Structure 1
């Protein structure tokens, strides 16, 4: 996916941006801010403040290698509906890349802890308002490993499933097999990170992230198969109500990918929504289409608005 420039600036929380203090916002705003992760690493975030007093807050957890500005239109729609929304980049991506990518450490569990940092600040600023977690692809996989995820009132996953390559949708399956078996190992060894942009595959990713993701994607039970019973118990411990939204024309996730991943969430009430584009009068949605600006009427108003706190 093409990289989107990120505006790097640290801004204080504006005086009018108060979620639970009884004062309305003066105007809808977007503020970019660097947050410090638990180890001091700086994470690029964007905060979308509604025009009036917020009635809820939303964490937007991104897909693999997708920069946060991809979700800008959706976050603005949320703010227009009265929700404090935050987007962010995982370390090594977009506004959370500092220096050379080969020098960025950590793995997917590090990304989960980084997500916990963002969620913690969102909770502070929401001041008791209900929080909705909306995770795109990877953003719906990492939930159980994110500190504080239990404070969300609802989890919504978009185009989320396992990454096991033999279960991938047909357009991706053969390419994924080649990627994991023949391409990733030599590129990681040669570059010290995964140079996906150069080869038009996934995107640039830190070494530890790509190495771990590859291992997950080569097991039929994905991360649970690799990380073992501890990971299975993490999924089972999630009790927040969950809604999965997936699409029949997703070029990456098959229905099997989606069903297997969400079957790990055994401790909560799950609602599985699977749509064909024709169900909502669209020619195409795919893995990335949900968050495009022109989906507001067909998808956001129809599917997400009823799930948000009234």
Structure 2
């Protein structure tokens, strides 16, 4: 495990961590975070990938985790960032860092929640050879899981406007919701979550061109007891990837001898032999297929 810095195309520095396998990497994997989640949450899984021969990179978006500048560590008031910055600059920087680190192996993405929603907004998503999404669905509030839908309207229509006006950012730690978020991020996310198209521009028009560019295999792993995402929301999000080869797995806790998985449970080490192994099997298969395809093209040349 090695702490590094990424530099986005606007000069912003981001905290990141690399996990190197003991031998030659068979693939390099980028793990973008879910909303309000720090990269440390993914360290056990990233280490597991390295144990299975894959290099991995985790990172914190600007204004999150260790990517919060010293001047803003007490308060995010005045910190400038939105979801387009996270996708177009930070996520994009992570892809380029991964490609520079291991240029000759497939580049794969494992996107948890928001991390699986943003690839269509990443300018250089052509670098990606395969995507595995975990608990990624539309955040449109009317399509949230029932237990969340009962309260989330209050967040978008009351808590967000009131608290951001008072604090200058969303004080998630204080209100025990998603964590502290820059004002631009929470305002844009609130707009998305109130729109049935979810990923939209400032005028509410759906953004789909970047998703149409993605033509690689995509495995969507979702969980029937997800307290945030409904199956409808998961399906609608992955319908955006209409040119990708999408495989959808709807997993019940009983399928993996568990009482609970939920929105965050996939990344618990208790699932090493089940969910983690499923993910690694798919990633290895995708990497081998890509490498064989490349070797075939070089042979023909």
TM-score between the two structures when normalised by the length of structure 1: 0.88
Q: How far does the alpha carbon of each residue in 1:270-310 deviate from its partner, in whole angstroms, 9 at most, with x for none?
A: 11111111011111100000011211112111333233224
Cα distance between partner residues in 2 of 1:161 and 1:227: 22
Aligned counterpart, 1:36: 7
| Structure 1 counterpart of 2:249, from 262, 273, 277 | 273
Q: How far does the alpha carbon of each residue in 1:193-224 deviate from its partner, in whole angstroms, 9 at most, with x for none?
A: 00001110111000000000000000112114
Structure 1 moving runs of 4+ over 4 Å: 225-230
1:150/1:240 contact within 8 Å kept: no
Q: How far does the alpha carbon of each residue in 1:160-196 deviate from its partner, in whole angstroms, 9 at most, with x for none?
A: 0010111110121122111011111011111110000
Write out aligned runs for 1:202-217 (5 A).
202-217=178-193
Q: How many residues align?
A: 281
Which structure is higher in helix share? 2
Write out aligned runs for 1:74-89 (5 A).
74-89=45-60
- Alignment of 1:167 with 2:143, yes or no, is yes
- Alignment of 1:102 with 2:77, yes or no, is yes
Cα gap change, 1:251/1:300 in structure 2, threshold over 3 Å: closer, same or farther? same
Write out aligned runs for 1:143-158 (5 A).
143-158=119-134
- Give the stretch that moved more between structures: 205-214 or 264-273: 264-273
Cα distance between partner residues in 1 of 2:134 and 2:203: 23
SS of structure 1 residue aligned to 2:24: coil
2:126/2:213 contact within 8 Å kept: no
2:223/2:262 contact within 8 Å kept: yes
Cα distance between partner residues in 2 of 1:198 and 1:242: 37
Aligned counterpart, 2:155: 179
Aligned-residue CA RMSD in angstroms? 1.4
1:219/1:226 contact within 8 Å kept: no
Aligned counterpart, 2:167: 191
Deviation at 1:229, TM superposition (A): 5.6
2:77/2:167 contact within 8 Å kept: yes
SS of structure 2 residue aligned to 1:156: strand
- Gaps of at least 5 residues in structure 2 are 289-301
Aligned counterpart, 1:111: 86
- Gaps of at least 5 residues in structure 1 are 1-29
TM-score between the two structures when normalised by the length of structure 2: 0.90
Cα distance between partner residues in 2 of 1:251 and 1:117: 31
Q: How far does the alpha carbon of each residue in 1:130-182 deviate from its partner, in whole angstroms, 9 at most, with x for none?
A: 11111000001100111321111111110000101111101211221110111
2:197/2:206 contact within 8 Å kept: no
- Alignment of 1:63 with 2:34, yes or no, is yes
Cα distance between partner residues in 2 of 1:117 and 1:176: 32
SS of structure 2 residue aligned to 1:198: helix
SS of structure 2 residue aligned to 1:51: coil
Write out aligned runs for 1:137-148 (5 A).
137-148=113-124
